[in-house]
Amino acid sequence: MRTQVGIVGAGPAGLLLSHLLHLQGIESAIFEDRSREAIEETVRAGVLEQGTVDMLNETGVGDRMRREGTVHHGIALRFRGGDHRIAMTELTGKSIMLYAQHEVIKDLVKARLHAGGPILFQVSDVAVHGLETDRPSICFTKDGRRQEAVCDFIAGCDGFHGVCRPSIPAGALTEYARVYPFGWLGILAQVHRLSEELIYTLHERGFALVSTRSPDLQRLYFQCDPEDDLALWPDERIWAEFRLRLASTENWQLHEGPITQKSIIGMRSFVVEPMRHGRLFLAGDAAHIVPPTGAKGLNLAVADVRVLSRAIGAYYAVGRTDLLDQYSEVCLRRVWMAQRFSWRMTSMLHRFPHDDAFHLRLQLAELDETTTSRAAATSLAENYVGLPFGDASPSPFYERR
């Protein structure tokens, strides 16, 4: 098998990269170890930055997002029982879109298959070879037969636990990591919409978040021990905790109802430098992880593949290699800005073990400043709606087809 760009992983990064390359007339093939049903049915929340929304629209895969997604123009910070709105659109001229990650995946899979783009689902024993040569390859097993795909470039879009990053020789990468001493217990609940905008809450018992999925299906989270056993969290105990943490002095009510899904996720920060080795380019979660407080994970993946697709496009269009050489540096500038913002949101809103009353007062003081200073509110809003992509290339090498 021969293709110009071999892409390992059919998550948002891999699928969007393949789509962007297709718009430039560049061949790619995607290799995914799960089934199509599995990647489309893995429920993940999604807060899309303005730039992500614009890119999906500009490249022809935003129709369903525009119909079914929900545009939000602000968020609320709740502390001391009161809500304080950050008016993102007023402060920045931009907004965000609530549209779940697995819905983005559905749209991208449909677009790639409609265009005849090869996505090989349920492959196993994937391995990458020849990364320092001009003909790297992806070896895999499909339908019981061992096969090889020879490529010009390989994109490692296979997530934090994928095979691509560990295939880079020891000593070639530097890893920066932080594991947080708490996780999120998240639920989907069949209740009426609780708020028109997301509510981020600081409470002495810990963080809580009110989000939404649809008018009658809501997603809520609260901070917990990452090692907690879900069996110890029956529905009534969950709702009791939300009642405590979301208590409001204003005209707001917590509607309770059947919980259809619950899970506990750990939280970590992770960055690998550089994001390239030879002809292998890492993108998305394969290169970096952010805690979900800042809603940056999916958006960073989009930013990565935007830069990478333009660099590959320049290579095939005019033989330029400088944009490929700059890929890691360009992406990492935005990655570290997102890490800083995610850390700010996480540390401002979560209770850490051994925090005392003094630290809580500092958190409240930071929230006070954020919600009373236009400059501080603007800084938060600018980061939340999305910083500029910061491409090395000022204009795209593709035209919509």
Look at residue 130 in the predicted model and tell me its pLDDT.
97
* pLDDT of residue 125 exceeding 80: yes
Mean pLDDT computed over 13-35: 97
Percent of the chain topping pLDDT 70:
97
Domains of the chain: 5-46+100-173+274-349 (3.50.50.60), 178-267 (3.30.9.10)
With both helix axes pointing from N to C terminus, report the angle between 357-372 and 374-385 in degrees, rounded to the nearest 10: 90
Q: Which residues are known to be catalytic?
A: 72, 200, 292, 296, 384
Look at residue 400 in the predicted model and tell me its pLDDT.
39
pLDDT in tens, 263-285: 999 999 999 999 999 999 999 99
pLDDT in tens, 386-398: 998 865 444 454 4
* pLDDT of residue 81 exceeding 90: yes
What's the length of the chain? 401
**Distances from the Cα of 79 to the Cα of 162, 203, 273, angstroms:** 39, 7, 37
Which residues, other chains included, contact 25 with Cβ-Cβ below 8 Å and sequence gap of 6+? Answer: 316
pLDDT in tens, 136-187: 999 999 999 999 999 999 999 999 999 999 999 999 999 999 999 999 999 9
Q: Check whether the bond before 274 is cis (ω within 30° of 0).
A: yes
CB 249, CB 150: distance < 8 Å: no
Mean pLDDT computed over 345-358: 95
Counting Cβ atoms within 10 Å, is residue 358 exposed (0-12), middle (13-18) or buried (19+)?
Answer: exposed
CB 337, CB 383: distance < 8 Å: yes
CB 294, CB 384: distance < 8 Å: yes
Look at residue 392 in the predicted model and tell me its pLDDT.
43
Look at residue 398 in the predicted model and tell me its pLDDT.
46
Global pTM? 0.93
Name beta bridge partners: 177: 270
CA distance 195 to 252: 9
Look at residue 356 in the predicted model and tell me its pLDDT.
94
